[in-house]
Each structure stands twice: as C-alpha cells, then as structure tokens.
C-alpha cells in the first residue's frame, strides 16, 4: 500500500495486559492513518475502547489521549494495571 499525500504513519507499542483487546492480540501496530488523529481517535479507528489506555509515552514524554502524534512517531501505550 503506497502512502497518500496526507497519510500519517505511526507505530504503537501496547504495554500491559490489554494487548489482548487490540487487533490480532498484537503488542506492536504499524498504522497508516488518513489524517492526523489524537490517540483517543486512533484507538477508536482501531476498534479499541479508549478506557483500556491510561496514557502514552513518546520521545521520552508522557502524552494524554488528546495528543496528536506526528508522521513517523512511535508511541508506547500504557494500560491500567491488573491483578487478582
């Protein structure tokens, strides 16, 4: 798939137990988005409930779900702790 002019490519790394709720139960996702989107919108685009992510880290900084990543950015998503 070739990149269109306005496409945004990002990489998401899912950290924690919620990986099982992401497509393919995969911890890493390489996404091509049709336009810039917030982390909350990206999760919706993927079919993932935003409640499964507390926040993200990018470039060594904590980001909230309203953060809009730039083309080529990598984010690590932090999910709530679980236990029993």
Q: For the chain, what is the mean pLDDT?
A: 91
Residue 27's alpha-carbon distances to 11, 13, 22, in angstroms, are 10, 6, 8
Q: What is the pLDDT of residue 80?
A: 84
H/E segment holding residue 46: helix 39-46
Judged against a pLDDT cut of 90, whether residue 84 lies above it is answered with no
Contact of 74 with 13, CB cutoff 8 Å:
yes
Q: What is the pLDDT of residue 45?
A: 95
Which fold is adopted by the domain 10-78?
Ubiquitin-like (UB roll) (3.10.20)
Q: Each residue of 33-73: pLDDT tens digit?
A: 999 999 999 999 999 999 999 999 999 999 999 999 999 99
pTM: 0.88
Q: Which residues sit opposite 30 in a β-bridge?
A: 11
């Amino acid at each position: 798939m070739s990149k269109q002019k306005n496409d945004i490519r990002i990489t998401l790394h899912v950290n924690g137990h919620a990986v099982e709720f992401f497509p393919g139960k995969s911890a890493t996702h390489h996404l091509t988005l049709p336009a810039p989107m917030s982390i909350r919108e990206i999760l919706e685009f993927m079919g993932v409930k935003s409640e499964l992510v507390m926040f993200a880290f990018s470039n060594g900084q904590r980001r909230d779900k309203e953060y809009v990543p730039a083309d080529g950015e990598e984010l690590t998503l932090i999910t709530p702790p679980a236990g029993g």
